[in-house]
Amino acid sequence: MAPEVPKHVAFIMDGNRRWARARMLPVVAGHAAGAKRVRGIVQACAERGISHVTLFAFSTENWQRPLEEVARLMQLFERYLRSQIDDLNANGVRLRIIGDRKRFSPVLQSLIEQAEQATADNDRLTLMVAANYGGRWDVLQAVRRLAGERGIEAVLELDEAALQPWLSTGDAPPVDLVVRTGGECRISNFLLWQAAYAELYFTEVLWPDFGVRQLDEALRWYARRERRFGGDGTVRERLRAAASPAGA
């Protein structure tokens, strides 16, 4: 039997600043190195049959960083959106930006919309970049959107399945695997709802050094996990049987 591949992998790309400081480089050089790493990882995920990838690029708490660093991160984000569209289209990648966009400049908001529209028809892999994102914000905005469009009565009758479409990830599958680089062992307010039953993989490797070999190590680790979803393991066996030719 082939190793089980997660449908949705989320990356907390930690360690850019430490990578730069270890090389006596400015912090922005670490962020630039981290941005360059994204392309290879996303391509490798697509080649391995992963359908959804979410990257934690900028949290709602990251505005507390030095103003110059934040400004450089916004410039880097703009540069990525301008330069990567052709490559995303060539690889069949649909780009979505999740998070509260209102704090971004009008130019950046416009670039986000253009990038999403330009890649909207791609279906090999969906890449979601979480920018000005927080998991608590996501749940709150989902409830507020639902109440605004359906009324408070809809909130009072809400169940988990009904809330899912209103989250910023929309109809994406739940997160199967969260990978955090940089040695920290926490999820830092990232995809709290979506990753409720995700496997959590922590590595000391800094994000700019996280390559295809490290990705494959994480996927092998994931394949060895016994995901019970609060049960006794039979749920996973039923899912495997349904996915196999014999169970079709």
The set of catalytic residues is 14, 62
Neighbours of 117 (CB within 10 A): 10
Neighbours of 242 (CB within 10 A): 10
Is residue 58 within 8 Å of residue 137, measured between CB atoms? no
Q: Where is the binding site, in residues?
A: 14-19, 31, 59-61, 63, 65, 180, 186-188, 199
Supply 239's token pair.
Answer: 């899912």
Is residue 222 within 8 Å of residue 201, measured between CB atoms? yes
Please give the helix or strand (H or E) that residue 202 lies within, else none: strand 199-202
Measure Cα distances from 218 to 128, 198, 231 in Å: 20, 13, 24
Q: Where is the binding site for Mg(2+), in residues?
A: 14, 199
In DSSP terms, which residues pair with 56 in a beta bridge?
12, 130
Q: Where is the binding site for substrate, in residues?
A: 15-19, 31, 59-61, 63, 65, 180, 186-188
Reported as half-sphere exposure (CB side, CA atoms, 13 A), residue 78 has a value of: 13
Q: Could you tell me which of 172, 46, 26 has the C-alpha nearest to residue 98? A: 172
Supply 121's token pair.
Answer: 């028809």
Give the 3-state secondary structure percentages of the chain, helix then strand then coil, rounded to 5: 50, 15, 35
Bridge-based pairing state of the strands 52-59 and 125-133: parallel
Phi-psi category of residue 183: left, alpha or beta, with phi > 0 → left and psi -120 to 50 → alpha: left
